[in-house]
A and B are shown apart, each in its own frame.
Chain A
Amino acid sequence: MTANPPLRVLIVEDEVLLATELEYLVTASGAEPVGHAMTSPEALDLAERLRPDLALVDVHLGDGPTGVEAARGMTDHCGAVVLFITANLKRLPSDLAGACGVMSKPYSEHQVRAALGFIEACMVNGRATCPPPQGLQLSAAYAELWNGPAAA
């Protein structure tokens, strides 16, 4: 059995303390943090250059509530899977701007680890082998993609 290369993760969060903590959790769950952006232009630029597998995105960034558009851009043009991690669920459109799901702040260390593990398994296998962990809400599109139309 060959090990899969680690998931490459971009963190888009304007609070450096939270970003640092997320970087730690990403590393601890076996993935590789490849970069950190604090504004939407930075996020799009880094996503373009680094081509991460996964981007963890807050709605509120250094340049305002621009995380939603940044997420759409990274999904549409950079091939990244986006997971929102935000205290701002109410600002998210119903299709989650193409993101795979959302975790709401305040989250616990365990919730983030579990969510990262789940998403990584889904991306590797192309489908879910268990229900999403507590705290992670999948978008309708990804629930269908990973669970099959019946379960969505």
Chain B
Amino acid sequence: MGAAANAQPIFDAHMHYSHDAWDVVPVQDVLAILKKAGVRRALISSSGDDGQQRLFQAAPDVIIPELRPYRSRSDVGTWFRDESVIPYLQERLSKFRYAGIGEFHLYGENADLPVPRRMVELARKHGLFLHAHSDIDAVERLFRQWPQARILWAHAGFERPEKVAEMLKKHRNLWADLAFRTDHGSGGKVDPAWRATFMAFPDRFMVGTDTYTPERWHYVGEHAAWSRQWLSDLPKDVAERIAWKNGEQVFGSLLRPE
């Protein structure tokens, strides 16, 4: 890994700062971790939205908030049937600025339930991204509800690269984050099938650490280094796009400090 790769900035498109992290990894520690890791900007959602608002207030030039439909992470498996989620989203949207709604977990036909439909309507009304931890079926249903939706597909659905490529080809407004998967860059080498997908869609991928427990904030630096390592196995311009330019281009202008 060369010096240039070491200096590669990172746009981390998949972070959480949920309620159980606020005391053990305080705001200033989070910002120090990001700085040390070379994370230029971070797309952050939180279960319990207050945490990320504190981050945003402390560093609006670094933090890009998303609104998660979870008041605590235990909402993960129930939110899509919980009518009280909608007024919660409405209240937060009336008070704060966001680049997207998500990351939410939504699979198959649940995407067409009334609560997710209302959430999509809110995203449309406010011009927000959807950050979907979903299978292909749910992503397709979201696009049917709102054909102009812009969706960041979390973990690219844990699908094989060929499937991810099919979806990216089909939907121009679909981007993919690579959080919590190792298969594309294990051992610092890019898998051939993934390489073909990255080369075909160099402007549609982003990296992400997925800090789903407080401890994982201490993995941000490790993850950034790991990302730089496998990215250095790609052509420089493609590596730069995936490392940070795509995130900056897609999200960077959405929420500049007022």
**Are A and B genuine complex partners?**
no
Q: Residues of A with Cβ closer than 8 Å to B?
A: none
Q: Residues of B with Cβ closer than 8 Å to A?
A: none
